[in-house]
Amino acid sequence: MPSSDAFRVVFVCTGNICRSPMAEVVLRHLATTAGLGDRIVSTSAGTGDWHVGERADRRTVEALQRRGYDGSLHRARQFSTSDFQANDLVVALDRTHERILRTWARTEDDRDKITLLLAFDPEATVRDVPDPYYDDDAAFDEVLGMIERSGRALFRQLEPALRPRS
């Protein structure tokens, strides 16, 4: 169970059934594996409401399973302006989401929480995680690989601050 002072991250994509659920699951897995599952809360949301209440796309769940993750419990939801207050970091999966989030931000503090996922990966040659929705299974695997690399880089930045002080 997360502690009340846990660091809270929300990942945001379009419909919350492909990219952002992958990122949510990957970061949660990294935190749990490092023994910090109670120090970080990883959630996700979409900018649109088309899939609210639905499970993650079948191909998302299958790509996650192939890499040893469980995405079966995910239910899509839409990002709300209250998510700015509820989270310490708002991570957009592409620049379109980032622009939308910036228009929804009410304060400078809200805007300061917004970043792109691939900004954490120093080796990324692109800024946007591509949407695999209209593509094949291989695209989901490729997108998951991008998310894993960036998720590990994000976690490496967060981990020192999350470790309990001795």
On whether residue 1 sits in a domain, the answer given is: no
pLDDT at 163: 84
On whether residue 166 sits in a domain, the answer given is: no
Please give the torsion angle defined by the CA atoms of residues 39, 51, 149 and 64, in that order, rounded to the nearest 10 degrees.
90
pLDDT tens-digit map of 86-113? 999 999 999 999 999 999 999 999 999 9
- List, in sequence order, every residue forming a beta bridge with 18; answer none if it has no partner: none
Confidence at 8, pLDDT banded by 50, 70, 90: very high
On whether residue 97 sits in a domain, the answer given is: yes
Q: Average model confidence (pLDDT) for the chain?
A: 96
On whether residue 115 sits in a domain, the answer given is: yes
On whether residue 157 sits in a domain, the answer given is: yes
For residues 17 and 54, is the Cβ–Cβ distance under 8 A? yes
CATH number of the structural domain spanning residue 99? 3.40.50.2300
On whether residue 84 sits in a domain, the answer given is: yes
Work out how many domains the chain is built from and give that number: 1
Going by the DSSP 8-state scheme, the letter that residue 57 receives in this structure is P
User: What is the pLDDT averaged over residues 41-55?
Assistant: 97
Going by the DSSP 8-state scheme, the letter that residue 39 receives in this structure is T
On whether residue 30 sits in a domain, the answer given is: yes
pLDDT tens-digit map of 129-166? 999 999 999 999 999 999 999 999 999 999 999 887 76
Confidence at 2, pLDDT banded by 50, 70, 90: low
Domain that holds residue 139: 7-161
On whether residue 131 sits in a domain, the answer given is: yes
Q: Which residues are catalytic?
A: 13, 19, 131
In angstroms, the CA 138 to CA 69 distance is 17
